[in-house]
């Protein structure tokens, strides 16, 4: 079921031509800063992978991958990637990337089950990145340090936009605020996860919510996370479970929080076995990716994705992601958006 938020009195601050120029400038600048900040080299990524290997990202486990049969491989089934969470870890091993260094790539996906609206499209474009780490780096302090570096890159990009278009004034705070999803439950016991995100992000403007995937004290999860890439069960130094999280900023145009990045320290053998058992997915141990991990053939890592169109949407103060990327939208949504100043590409 699609949704549509109509910002009151919305008027685009830059026209279509300036928007296209701004998109290129943001994408060129941000990936350069990010690669320098995290010591990442660019690699070429697949648009699709073979089914049944365990390489594709299962997301929350309910989304159907777009698939097709390959004639020259005896009609073997291939899937358009949902993300490259596990493929990147395989690539770290294949390229023999040293600890402290990593990779990034342009990830393009099609998510046919997405609920279409201002923030969600059938087409997903991200900078997917993965960093090879040491055992001693599997802790909350290292996670926070990486988050701070990514956030610093976002703030630099925001200033570049301001230099080019002075009408778009910087809005991000100097520092990002960290909170665990369990602390959010205690702070807002009567609110839903999305309402908690909104309340806390509205107050602090830029936040990182730690611990996504595991059950909280109220018996529910803050959000779903697949069991075989992020570690959401390890007890961290702050006394909570999880070494992963989501980065949010306050979107003044829509009056809501906006998730720009999902990331985390990846599962080791112990965390993978535990999380597969919790999710009732122990049969995955026989898949190609999972066997390699359990056999110690993959490096320890941290990684995530940063939404390209979402970042551009936020920095250019747009009201709909369709003002940034070309996709398919319900005709009624296109018409309504046009009437309210949001010109969908």
| Alpha-carbon distances, residue 17 vs 21, 119, 322, 323 (angstroms) | 6, 22, 15, 11
* Marked catalytic residue, from 259, 268, 284, 334: 259
- Phi/psi of residue 255, nearest 5 degrees: 65, 40
* Burial of 142 from C-beta contacts in 10 A (0-12 / 13-18 / 19+): middle
- Please indicate whether residue 266 is annotated as part of the active site: no
Give the burial class of 204: count Cβ atoms within 10 A of its Cβ; 0-12 exposed, 13-18 middle, 19 or more buried: middle
111 is a catalytic site residue: yes
Nearest to 323 by CA among 296, 343, 303: 343
**Per-position b or e across 256-283, b if 16+ CB within 10 A of its CB:** bbbbbbbbbbbbbeebbbbbbeebebee
134 is catalytic: no
DSSP label at residue 98: P
Cβ neighbours of residue 90 under 8 Å, at least 6 residues apart?
55, 289, 292, 298
Q: Give the relative orientation of helices 16-38 and 308-315 as an angle to the nearest 10 degrees.
A: 120
Catalytic residue among 89, 111, 138, 317: 111
Please tell me the distance from the alpha carbon of residue 280 to that of residue 287, in angstroms, as a whole number.
Answer: 15
- Those residues whose C-beta lies under 8 Å from the C-beta of residue 217, and which sit 6 or more positions away, are 182, 185, 186
Residue 308 known to be catalytic: no
What is each CA distance from 220 to 27, 192, 210, 294, in whole angstroms? Answer: 37, 10, 15, 29
| Closest C-alpha to 312, from 70, 78, 24 | 24
Q: Are 39 and 33 a contacting pair, CB within 8 Å?
A: no
| Residues recognised as catalytic | 57, 111, 126, 246, 259, 262
């Amino acid at each position: 079921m699609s949704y549509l938020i109509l910002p009151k009195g919305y008027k685009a601050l830059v026209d279509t031509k300036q928007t296209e120029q701004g998109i290129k400038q943001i994408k060129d600048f941000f990936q350069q800063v990010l690669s320098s900040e995290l010591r990442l080299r660019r690699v070429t990524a697949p648009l699709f992978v073979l089914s049944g290997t365990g390489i594709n990202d299962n997301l929350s486990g309910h989304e159907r991958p777009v698939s097709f049969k390959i004639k020259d491989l005896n009609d073997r089934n291939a899937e358009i990637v949902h993300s490259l969470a596990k493929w990147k870890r395989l690539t770290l091993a294949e390229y023999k990337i040293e600890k402290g260094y990593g990779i990034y790539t342009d990830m393009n996906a099609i998510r046919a089950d997405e609920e279409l609206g201002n923030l969600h499209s059938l087409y997903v474009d991200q900078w997917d990145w993965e960093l090879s780490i040491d055992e001693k780096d599997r802790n909350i302090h290292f996670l926070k340090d990486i988050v701070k570096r990514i956030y610093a890159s976002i703030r630099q990009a925001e200033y570049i936009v301001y230099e080019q278009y002075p009408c778009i004034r910087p809005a991000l705070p100097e520092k990002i605020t960290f909170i665990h999803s369990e602390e959010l439950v205690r702070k807002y016991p009567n609110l839903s996860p999305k309402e908690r995100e909104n309340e806390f992000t509205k107050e602090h403007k830029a936040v990182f919510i730690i611990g996504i995937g595991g059950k909280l004290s109220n018996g529910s999860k803050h959000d779903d996370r697949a069991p075989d890439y992020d570690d959401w069960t390890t007890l961290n130094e702050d006394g909570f479970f999880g070494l992963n999280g989501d980065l949010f900023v306050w979107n003044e145009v829509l009056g809501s929080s906006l998730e720009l990045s999902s990331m985390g320290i990846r599962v080791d053998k112990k965390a993978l076995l535990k999380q597969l058992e919790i999710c009732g997915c122990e049969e995955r141990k026989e898949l190609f990716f999972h066997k390699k991990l359990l056999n110690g053939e993959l490096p320890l890592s941290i990684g995530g994705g940063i939404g390209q169109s979402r970042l551009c949407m936020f920095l250019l103060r747009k009201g709909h992601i369709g003002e940034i990327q070309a996709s398919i939208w319900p005709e009624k949504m296109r018409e309504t958006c046009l009437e309210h100043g949001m010109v969908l590409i």
